[in-house]
């Protein structure tokens, strides 16, 4: 691809993102916001209008002065729907949503999944999603996939997932590309929760925040040593700074273990045999939440995060978690002015990962290709072109 062609496609993605984030914006405002020539914006706008990605939404009645009224622009909600999928070792769940996050259909199952059956599981879920929208005139743009473990979303590689039986890097994207008729973007499950908050909760986009995904399980394959296999709770976090989900050099950002925990106790200092009684045992649940809050407080204050979002089973078993977290953050805070922080429970409940995975695909669809690195990641207008290729087949 020539440099000029690549720059054109990057500018197309920038314009699409500006309109997506600012519905009702005019071409003139887009040009000013992105520091582009109006002629460049006009040419690109004609292409994306012809493709049906963007529609005009009337004239700007609030415009002052004389001259031709500016035309408002917004992304066409009808360009397609997205699939969000969560796959765990003993269950899976999926949702089909609009690009604004409205759930159209949802379905789930309790079948076990391991590495050798993961591709088949995803293919079956995609087929079920297509069946759920069949006859409704809807087009499936693609899917986001939330998985437990260490995932490189740029190359689509599952680096390690104890619960799914992945102990060596598994090129999931290539395996899916060969057999699946939808473009699928894999991601860590806790990070998927972050993408849902970014894509579908515009009011909080400007905040740096952390999502905490906790899931109660009868048997969690944990660490390879000690009694971690009997762990009663599986917990991971995702961190967002300046509208970007952090992954780290080894894609292990968010892997949680309490500071004083050891191999014999798993993720917390509380012995595994005691954790088996949660969430019903409120006393032990309170101990877990207290230890979790103390560990989160250091991270939240050290990195100046202003929002904490608890997701998964934590949202359906809140206990005193909000109170304990607020107290821990306050206790860990070293200054004499108030610590402005918001502590929430995900509005998506036990579907936080699957809806978040849908948000992941939407966010990538309206992202801008990186000019410096991550060339292997397909985003923005390039991703839409790839989606259209599949549609024409």
CATH number of residue 113's parent domain: 3.30.420.40
Residue 83 belongs to some domain of the structure: yes
> pLDDT (tens digit, 9 = 90+) per residue, 221-254?
443 344 444 448 899 999 999 999 999 999 999 9
Residues 182 and 282 in one domain: no
Residues 224 and 334 in one domain: yes
pTM above threshold 0.95: no
Tell how strand 150-152 and strand 157-160 pair up. Answer: antiparallel
Q: Say what the pLDDT of residue 218 is.
A: 66
Residue 73, H or E segment? strand 71-75
Q: Say what the pLDDT of residue 73 is.
A: 95
Q: Say what the pLDDT of residue 204 is.
A: 84
Alpha helices in 104-166 (DSSP H): 115-133
Q: Which of 137-141, 187-191, 334-338 has the lowest mean pLDDT?
A: 334-338
Tell how strand 140-147 and strand 81-87 pair up. Answer: parallel
Span 331-336, average pLDDT: 93
> pLDDT (tens digit, 9 = 90+) per residue, 189-207?
999 999 999 999 988 888 9
CA distance 350 to 93: 9
Q: Say what the pLDDT of residue 308 is.
A: 97
Q: Say what the pLDDT of residue 38 is.
A: 93
Alpha carbon distances (Å) from 260 to 3, 100, 104, 326: 51, 41, 44, 21
Q: Which of 103, 99, 106, 113 is nearest to 142 (CA)?
A: 99
Residues 51 and 69 in one domain: yes
Residue 21 belongs to some domain of the structure: yes
Q: Say what the pLDDT of residue 58 is.
A: 64
Tell how strand 150-152 and strand 140-147 pair up. Answer: unpaired
Residues 218 and 329 in one domain: yes
CA distance 241 to 254: 13
Residues 48 and 117 in one domain: no
**Where among 75, 107, 130 does a domain terminate?**
75
DSSP 8-class letter at 342: E
Residue 197 belongs to some domain of the structure: no
Q: Say what the pLDDT of residue 375 is.
A: 63
Q: Say what the pLDDT of residue 110 is.
A: 94
Q: Binning pLDDT at 50, 70 and 90, where does residue 102 land?
A: very high
**Where among 23, 54, 75 does a domain terminate?**
75
Residues 225 and 338 in one domain: yes
Q: How many residues does the chain have?
A: 393
> pLDDT (tens digit, 9 = 90+) per residue, 115-124?
999 999 999 9
Q: Say what the pLDDT of residue 275 is.
A: 87
Residues 369 and 343 in one domain: no
Residue 240 bridge partners (DSSP): 209, 245
Determine the structural domain holding residue 330 and report its residue range. Answer: 202-350
Query: Do 74 and 117 meet the contact criterion of CB atoms below 8 Å apart?
Result: no
CA distance 334 to 321: 22
Residues 230 and 90 in one domain: no
Residues 302 and 235 in one domain: yes
**Predicted confidence (pLDDT) at residue 163 exceeds the cutoff of 60:** yes
**Predicted confidence (pLDDT) at residue 155 exceeds the cutoff of 90:** yes
Average pLDDT, the chain: 90
Residue 345, H or E segment? strand 342-345
Percent above pLDDT 90 for the chain: 76
Residue holding tokens 């071409």? 27
> Between these two residues, 112 and 220, which has the higher pLDDT value?
112
Span 363-388, average pLDDT: 84
Q: Say what the pLDDT of residue 2 is.
A: 57
Q: Say what the pLDDT of residue 388 is.
A: 86
What DSSP letter does each residue of 253-295 carry, written as one string? Answer: TTB---TT--TTTTTSSS-HHHHTTTTT-HHHHHHHHHHHHHH
Q: Binning pLDDT at 50, 70 and 90, where does residue 7 land?
A: confident
Residues 22 and 126 in one domain: no
Cβ atoms within 10 Å of 249's Cβ, excluding its own = 6
Residues 228 and 346 in one domain: yes
Span 91-105, average pLDDT: 97
Burial class (CB in 10 A: 0-12, 13-18, 19+), 1: exposed
Q: Binning pLDDT at 50, 70 and 90, where does residue 285 land?
A: very high
**Where among 34, 52, 75 does a domain terminate?**
75
Give how many domains the chain has, as a whole number. 3
What backbone torsions phi and psi does residue 82 show, to the nearest 5 degrees? Answer: -125, 155
Residue 260 belongs to some domain of the structure: yes
Residues 96 and 63 in one domain: no
CA distance 279 to 295: 20
Q: Say what the pLDDT of residue 228 is.
A: 43
Query: Do 208 and 304 meet the contact criterion of CB atoms below 8 Å apart?
Result: yes
Query: Do 145 and 364 meet the contact criterion of CB atoms below 8 Å apart?
Result: no
């Amino acid at each position: 691809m020539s440099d000029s062609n690549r720059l054109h496609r990057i500018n197309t993605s920038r314009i699409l993102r500006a309109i997506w984030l600012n519905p009702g914006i005019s071409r003139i405002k887009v040009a000013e916001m992105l520091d582009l020539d109006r002629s460049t914006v006009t040419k690109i706008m004609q292409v994306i209008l012809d493709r049906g990605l963007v529609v005009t939404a009337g004239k700007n009645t609030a415009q002052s002065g004389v001259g031709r009224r500016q035309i408002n622009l917004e992304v066409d909600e009808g360009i397609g729907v997205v699939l969000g999928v969560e796959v765990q070792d003993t269950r899976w769940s999926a949702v089909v949503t609009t690009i604004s996050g409205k759930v159209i259909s949802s379905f789930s199952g309790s079948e076990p999944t391991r590495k050798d059956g993961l591709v088949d599981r995803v293919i079956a879920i995609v087929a079920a999603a297509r069946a759920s929208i069949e006859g409704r005139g809807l087009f499936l743009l693609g899917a986001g996939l939330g998985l437990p473990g260490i995932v490189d979303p740029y190359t689509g590689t599952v680096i390690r997932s104890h619960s799914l039986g992945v102990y060596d890097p598994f090129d999931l994207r290539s395996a899916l590309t060969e057999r699946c008729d939808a473009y699928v973007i894999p991601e860590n499950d806790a990070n998927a929760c972050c993408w849902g908050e970014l894509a579908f909760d515009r009011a909080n986009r400007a905040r740096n925040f952390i999502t905490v995904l906790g899931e109660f399980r009868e048997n969690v394959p944990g660490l390879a040593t000690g009694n971690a296999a009997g762990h009663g709770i599986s917990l991971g976090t995702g961190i967002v700074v300046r509208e970007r989900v952090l992954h780290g050099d080894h894609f292990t950002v968010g892997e949680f273990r309490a500071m004083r925990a050891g191999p014999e106790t798993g993720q917390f200092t509380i012995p595994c045999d005691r954790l088996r009684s949660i969430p019903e045992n409120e006393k032990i649940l309170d101990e877990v939440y207290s230890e979790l809050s103390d560990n989160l407080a250091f991270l939240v204050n050290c990195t100046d995060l202003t929002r904490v979002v608890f997701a998964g089973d934590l949202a359906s078993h809140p206990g005193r978690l909000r109170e304990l977290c607020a107290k821990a953050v306050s206790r860990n805070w070293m200054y004499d002015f108030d610590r402005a922080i918001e502590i929430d429970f995900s509005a998506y409940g036990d579907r936080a990962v699957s809806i978040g995975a849908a948000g992941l695909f939407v966010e990538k669809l309206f992202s801008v290709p990186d000019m410096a690195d991550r060339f292997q990641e397909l985003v923005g207008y390039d991703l839409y072109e790839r989606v259209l290729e599949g549609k024409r087949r």
